[in-house]
Amino acid sequence: MPTEEELKQEAEATETETTVEEPENNPKDTEQSNEKTFTQADIDRILADRLEREKKKQAETAERLKKLEEYEKAEEERKKAEMTEAERLKAEKEEADKKAAEAAEEAKKALEAANKRIIDTEIRAIARSLNANDPSDVLALMDKSGVEINEDGSVKGVEEAVAALKEAKPWMFKAPVGADAAGGSNPAKTNDNTEIAAKERELAEAKEKALKDTRFAGAVTKIYNELIALKSKK
């Protein structure tokens, strides 16, 4: 006869064999059943809602900025109202001093500009009187450190500065030509004229280079002296 323990074990084995397994849930089936499809109308509505919220948010921000500006202005007026008479006068004086300093600076700049125009005009006039090829070139290259305007408005030091430039760079000025060289009673020979014309072209080319690069100034002086020598032979 089986014991109580044996009967118990047999019952548990029978229950295990008769248990029906429940089907497992498929995550993909669940995900597909929960997925929602949006129509074009749904998308348009969502975008319109977002746009409306953004406009509202911008309007609120602008309103807050406006209120902040109004508050700051009111606060400034309040502080001015609380100033003592001495503080108010001090603030007005500081403001007046600031405006006076700005006006003085503007007047200084205007005077400097006017003086520069006067000096430049004087330099061009002296350069023309000394037969400069181009007075603007003289203005650009001459040393202006010794040029100044006297109290009476006259310009000092221009003649000396232009003369110094003429001595250092004679090719920038027209050379004096004698009666013979200008076509007087002794006309030059054809080959001399040809050589002079070639040298003048060479000088013109050298001048163009020297105006762009001062390293060519020595070559210009050399060609200029050669040209003078040729003309003196005529």
Residue spans per domain, the chain = 80-170, 175-234
Q: How far apart are CA 207 and CA 201, in angstroms?
A: 10
**28 vs 128, higher pLDDT:** 128
pLDDT tens digits for 138-154? 988 888 888 888 877 77
pLDDT at 19 over 70: no
**Residue 149 pairs with which residues in a beta bridge?**
155
Which pLDDT tens digit goes with each residue over 77-99?
877 777 677 787 888 888 899 88
Pairwise CA distance, residues 227 & 224, whole Å:
5
Q: What is the DSSP string of 18-80?
A: HPPPPPPPPHHHHHHHH--PPPHHHHHHHHHHHHHHHHHHHHHHHHHHHHHHHHHHHHHHHHH
Of 222 and 133, more confident: 133
Range scoring the smallest mean pLDDT among 55-69, 92-106, 115-129, 211-225: 211-225
Percent of the chain scored above 90 by pLDDT?
A: 3
Of 23 and 135, more confident: 135
Best mean pLDDT range from 35-44, 60-69, 174-183: 60-69
CA distance 79 to 165: 65
The stretch 26-42 carries a mean pLDDT of: 64
Radius of gyration of the chain (CA): 50
Give me the pLDDT at residue 27, please: 52
Which of 44-48, 117-121, 222-226 has the lowest average pLDDT? 222-226
pLDDT value at residue 105: 87
pLDDT of 234 reads 57
